Amino acid sequence: MELWFSEPHTPDVKLSIRVDKQLYSGESDLQRIDVFESPELGRFLVLDGYVMLTEKDEFIYHEMIVHVPMAVHPCVKRVLVIGAGDGGVVRELTRYPEIEYIDLVEIDQQVIQVCRDYLPRTACKLDDERVYIHYEDGLKFVRTREDEYDLIIVDSTDPFGPGEGLFTKEFYGNCYKALREDGIMVNQHESPFYEADATACMRAHKRIVESFPISRVYQAHIPTYPSGHWLFGFASKRYHPVRDLDAARWDERGLETKYYTTRLHMGAFCLPAYVEKLL
Ligand code: AG3
């Protein structure tokens, strides 16, 4: 018998992935957590029925959410990561020796445990000595911080359920306060393609525009997310994401990447006409 996992992307469109076996299934206090093994996409993590990552394409998301701000800011030492219990963001960040510490704020302890157990490729750097894990609501955590971080990365779920608060004006305002005078905030911004997602994404974008002097949107192609066309928000107090990109400095590091390049970085901020119109 064939086993398939399906995620509805709209009431009329689904993504289906053939599954070899289910490695984990459980309920935390906050959500349902599943991990499957699949022939085409490797292992994949599902929260409340939505695919969070697959081993085959997570590099795209994690490289784009980390290397874009890291190639712009001249010296990142203190980083706050919200969500991201799978460890993918932390894995990419720990490749930068100048980073002194990373506060990882994940609301669901069980997500981290399941990822440690079943997704070693993303969870592999969660024990790095610079990483401090806080099991807290990111919304509350940022309220208590001021003028501390060079970079905040918001790796949330979709804008409903446990991640909802991470798309609010209050949250973005507190992130602004928690950043130092030249800090950058990057967040995952959903897809512009299907109407319901696009509406959520535009609402969030408007709130960011109101909270930060510089705010731009960039894109990547992530095959397993709804429509495959994914956006990220870049919000900043001082640096412009393209004019302040120091490509020579980043290229000199010699970091090996599978998706991100400084050439692609510049193009990623050029958006399709229909997306420009939405913003
Ligand atoms: N966080 C954003 C995933 C959103 C996917 N949405 C969906 N499948 N409907 C990804 C976490 C990776 N660290």
Confidence of residue 79 (pLDDT cuts 50, 70, 90): very high
Atom of ligand 1 nearest to the CA of 88: 13
Atom of ligand 1 nearest to the CA of 188: 2
Cα of 252 to ligand 1 centre, how many Å?
Answer: 31
> Is pLDDT at 39 greater than 90 in this prediction?
yes
Confidence of residue 163 (pLDDT cuts 50, 70, 90): confident
Ligand 1 atom 3: residue of nearest CA? 52
Cα of 37 to ligand 1 centre, how many Å?
Answer: 18
- Is ligand 1 within 6 A of the CB of residue 86? yes
Residue of 103, 150, 155, 158 marked active site: 155
pLDDT in tens, 85-130: 999 999 999 999 999 999 999 999 999 999 999 999 999 999 999 9
What mean pLDDT comes out for the span 16-44? Answer: 97
- Please check whether residue 47 is in contact with residue 32, taking contact to mean a CB–CB distance below 8 angstroms: yes
Per-residue confidence (pLDDT) for residue 263, from 0 to 100:
97
Count Cβ atoms below 10 Å from residue 11 Cβ, excluding itself.
Answer: 7
pTM here? 0.96
Confidence of residue 29 (pLDDT cuts 50, 70, 90): very high
- Residue from 36, 44, 188 whose mutation best tests the ligand 1 pocket (most atoms within 8 A of CB): 188
Residue 259 buriedness (CB in 10 A; 0-12 / 13-18 / 19+): middle
Residues 6+ apart with CB under 8 A from 142: 80, 82, 152, 171, 174, 175, 177, 178
The tokens describing 184, both together, are 């950058």
Q: Average model confidence (pLDDT) for the chain?
A: 95
> Is pLDDT at 57 greater than 90 in this prediction?
yes
Residues 6+ apart with CB under 8 A from 195: none
Per-residue confidence (pLDDT) for residue 153, from 0 to 100:
98
Sketch out the chain's domains with CATH numbers. 3-54 (2.30.140.10), 58-278 (3.40.50.150)
- Is ligand 1 within 6 A of the CB of residue 188? yes
- Is ligand 1 within 6 A of the CB of residue 153? no
Per-residue confidence (pLDDT) for residue 158, from 0 to 100:
83
Confidence of residue 159 (pLDDT cuts 50, 70, 90): confident
Per-residue confidence (pLDDT) for residue 261, from 0 to 100:
98
- Is ligand 1 within 6 A of the CB of residue 84? yes
Tell me: ipTM over 0.85. Answer: yes
- Is ligand 1 within 6 A of the CB of residue 52? yes
- Is ligand 1 within 6 A of the CB of residue 226? yes
Rounded distance between C-alpha atoms, residue 183 and residue 74, angstroms? 10
Q: Is 155 a catalytic residue?
A: yes
Rounded distance between C-alpha atoms, residue 187 and residue 212, angstroms? 13
Residue 199 buriedness (CB in 10 A; 0-12 / 13-18 / 19+): middle
- Is ligand 1 within 6 A of the CB of residue 53? yes
Per-residue confidence (pLDDT) for residue 201, from 0 to 100:
84
Nearest alpha-carbon partner for 31 in 47, 8, 55: 47
Distance between start and end Cα atoms, the chain: 46
What mean pLDDT comes out for the span 138-151? Answer: 96
Confidence of residue 144 (pLDDT cuts 50, 70, 90): very high
> Is pLDDT at 162 greater than 80 in this prediction?
no
- Please check whether residue 110 is in contact with residue 26, taking contact to mean a CB–CB distance below 8 angstroms: yes
Rounded distance between C-alpha atoms, residue 118 and residue 116, angstroms? 6
Ligand 1 atom 11: residue of nearest CA? 52
The tokens describing 108, both together, are 């669901």
Helix (H) or strand (E) holding 65: helix 58-72
Per-residue confidence (pLDDT) for residue 229, from 0 to 100:
96
Burial code (b: 16+ CB inside 10 Å, e: under 16) for 53-90 equals: bbbebbbbbbbbbbbbbbbbbeebebbbbbbbbbbbbb
What mean pLDDT comes out for the span 168-176? Answer: 94
Count Cβ atoms below 10 Å from residue 35 Cβ, excluding itself.
Answer: 20
Per-residue confidence (pLDDT) for residue 204, from 0 to 100:
87
- Is ligand 1 within 6 A of the CB of residue 17? no
Cα of 249 to ligand 1 centre, how many Å?
Answer: 30
Per-residue confidence (pLDDT) for residue 164, from 0 to 100:
85
> Is pLDDT at 198 greater than 90 in this prediction?
no
Per-residue confidence (pLDDT) for residue 264, from 0 to 100:
98
Confidence of residue 195 (pLDDT cuts 50, 70, 90): confident
Rounded distance between C-alpha atoms, residue 178 and residue 110, angstroms? 27
